[in-house]
Amino acid sequence: MRVDMIKCVGTCVCLFFSLFSFSQNTFPSSGNVGIGTAAPEVKLQVDINSSVTEYAQIPSSLSLRNNSMQEGNLNVLSFRDAGGYGIAGIAVQNRNVGTHTGIISFWTRKNGTATAPKMTLDENGKVGIGTTAPDQLLTVNGTIHSKEVEVDLSVPAPDYVFEKEYKLPPLDSIKIYIERNKHLPEIPSAKVMEADGMQLGEMNMLLLKKVEELTLQLILVNEKLEKQQVMIEKLTKFTE
């Protein structure tokens, strides 16, 4: 009889939670729990009032929803300082509600004012640092400080310059090209680089090619000088 009474009390408690809500904290018969919503769609759903600025600290296992998603912004996570002011946070933003695309932005606070997003992850997986519109997988609007940078080459290293079949451009033709174009052959002009930027891997290989060509040119010039020196010495002995 005692067991039956416990079962009856348990049933009443379940029925109670399934029928009543507490300030929109609901426990419907579906088994989902809602905080701030009367119709939770997942096991635990938290809806934040979109009419005021509110922030929530949430564990990674918590699904956070907000009606303002369709309006474009949702502050998912923020950290507060001793005075209760948000100092950093993550925001999920819709770019196109109809196709369910969106971005994740990371922002900070300076001198009491929220700054523009410092880092952005867009719907295509591109990351922007210092910019909200990355055009590559990683776009940095600023200076990168690094101990080392490793670049995978998409162009071959120019060791072919040292092959016997390679035709070294004569210096007189290079001189004419420079006089006409004001830059080295194969190297983009200053205006082009300022407008389009440059590919580090490709540019380094072009510069290496020019260094190798210059080295070969110097070797040839040195050989000519040595031959001339031998001839001068012979002439000098002949005239003595």
Position 180 scores a pLDDT of 96
Tally of domains within the chain: 3
Band of the pLDDT at 222, cuts 50, 70, 90? very high
User: Does a structural domain hold residue 35?
Assistant: yes
What's this model's pTM, rounded to 2 decimal places?
0.55
Same domain flag for 208 and 119: no
Same domain flag for 58 and 116: yes
Same domain flag for 56 and 120: yes
Judge whether residue 68 has pLDDT over 50.
no
Same domain flag for 66 and 134: yes
Same domain flag for 62 and 39: no
Q: Which long-range contacts (CB under 8 A, 24 or more apart) does 104-112 make?
A: 105/132, 109/85, 112/85
Position 156 scores a pLDDT of 82
Of 113, 145, 177, which one is at a domain's C-terminal end? Answer: 145
In DSSP notation, 140-196 reads ESS----S------SS--GGGGGSTT--PPPHHHHHHHHHHHSS-TTSPPHHHHHHH
SS3 category, 48: coil
Q: Which of 80-84, 108-112, 157-161, 165-169 is predicted least confidently?
A: 80-84
Same domain flag for 221 and 163: yes
User: Does a structural domain hold residue 152?
Assistant: no
- In angstroms, what CA-CA distances link 136 with 124, 132, 203, 225? 10, 12, 18, 51
Same domain flag for 61 and 136: yes
Range of the domain at 61: 48-145
Phi/psi for 149 (5° steps) reads -130, 125
User: Does a structural domain hold residue 137?
Assistant: yes
Token reading at 111: 């001198």
Same domain flag for 140 and 53: yes
